[in-house]
Amino acid sequence: MSLFRNIVFTAVIAGLLSGLLLTVMQSFSTVPLILQAEVFENAGGEAGHSHSHDVAPAAGAAAPADHHHEEEAWAPADGFERFIYTAAANALSAIGFGLVLVAASEALGGFKGWRGGLMFGIAGFLAVSLAPGLGLPPELPGMPAAELGPRQIWWVSTAVCTAVALGLLAYTRSAVFAALAIVLLVAPHLIGAPLPPSHETAVPLELHARFVNAVYATNLVFWALLGAACGILRARFRAGEEASAGSAVKLVSR
Amino acid sequence: MVTKSAATAVSVSTSKIIPLSMTALMGLFIVGFVGFSHLEVVHNAAHDTRHSLAFPCH
């Protein structure tokens, strides 16, 4: 139980720290671009609406009411409230990523200090940001995209395949596993991400390019800090583990 | 001697399996809820985070 508690402490503190840094970086880089894109999204809103009304009659009479209901779903008010919810969502995501990162590292023998943590963090960036982003580039509001479900499945599969591949490359020494890792790295991109039927959008390309750059830059810094902080804190929160592991060894040797 | 140390290594790692899988599942659940939930309210609250972390959105 002490292992579980120590991992949770590590992930929560590292997640809060890196989530806070991520929020600060985002408020200067990605969030202003999202707000700009929303202006285009709302200006080009007629196109989006006519599209959804084309779909609605086919889906049945109840669909327009549902659509209307969705429009009225609660959303944080722009400004401070929206910032607070973004900060909370960032911190929660960071804690979640931290929990997975520490659990993965423990299963593979531990971080062994901040440097190992940094390596895990960069692996996290490659698996969770870069690899899925090759097929599904970071989107701005108002950009066309395929159905959400298939995109989420492709995103998760790509992240898992890339993470497993990086683990095989770093922790095995046989050529067969290296070959398997290369296959896992490449396969999701050969299969290809679900694409929208049309790429037409009111959002300028230049805005999107700046957004993609900002997302990768902020996520790289975020993952590097998350990993390094997990590496440092994991070494601090070891109380009780050696003792219980020692008693387990004693029990077995008896 | 060798078998004994192998047995201890296995027993330590098996004692780790439950807490490690619990933490990993907890982390995946949190990320899944914030980044992948189809609930409209959760989507709206985490909107800027989803876009900025390049999660599939909308």
Q: Nearest-CA distance from A178 to chain B in Å?
A: 25
Q: Which domain holds residue B48?
A: 2-52
Reported as a single tens digit per residue, the pLDDT across A197-232 is: 888 888 999 999 999 999 999 999 999 999 999 999
pLDDT of residue A52: 39
**Residue burial B26-51, b: 16+ Cβ < 10 Å; e: rest:** bbbebbebbbbeeeeebbebbbbbbb
User: In this structure, is residue B6 part of a structural domain?
Assistant: yes
Tell whether A185 is within 8 A of chain B (Cβ). Answer: no
Chain A and chain B share a number of CB contacts under 8 A equal to 151
Tokens representing residue A136 in the block: 């599904």
User: In this structure, is residue B58 part of a structural domain?
Assistant: no
Closest residue in A to B8 (Cα–Cα): A249
Tell whether A140 is within 8 A of chain B (Cβ). Answer: yes
Q: Considering only CB atoms, which chain B residues are within 8 Å of A219?
A: 53-54
Percent of chain A with pLDDT over 70: 83
d(CA A233, CA A166): 23
pLDDT of residue A226: 98
Which among B53, B9, B17 is positioned nearest to B35, based on CA atoms?
B53
Which among A3, A221, A228 is positioned nearest to A120, based on CA atoms?
A228
Q: Do B20 and A252 touch (CB under 8 A)?
A: no
Q: Do A137 and B54 touch (CB under 8 A)?
A: yes
Alpha helices per DSSP H over chain A: 2-28, 30-43, 45-59, 63-71, 80-107, 114-125, 131-135, 148-171, 175-191, 205-236, 241-253
Tell whether A15 is within 8 A of chain B (Cβ). Answer: no
Closest residue in A to B55 (Cα–Cα): A138
User: In this structure, is residue B28 part of a structural domain?
Assistant: yes
pLDDT of residue A103: 96
Tell whether A80 is within 8 A of chain B (Cβ). Answer: no
Q: Answer whether A125's CB lies under 8 Å from A177's CB.
A: no
Reported as a single tens digit per residue, the pLDDT across A131-158 is: 999 999 999 998 999 999 999 999 999 9
Residues of B with CB under 8 A from a CB of A: 4, 7-8, 11-12, 15-16, 19-24, 26-31, 33-36, 38, 40-41, 44-58
| pLDDT band per the 50, 70, 90 thresholds, residue B2 | very low
User: In this structure, is residue B57 part of a structural domain?
Assistant: no
Q: Do A95 and B58 touch (CB under 8 A)?
A: no
pTM confidence score: 0.85
> How many independent structural domains does chain B possess?
1
- The rounded mean pLDDT for chain A is 86
User: In this structure, is residue B10 part of a structural domain?
Assistant: yes
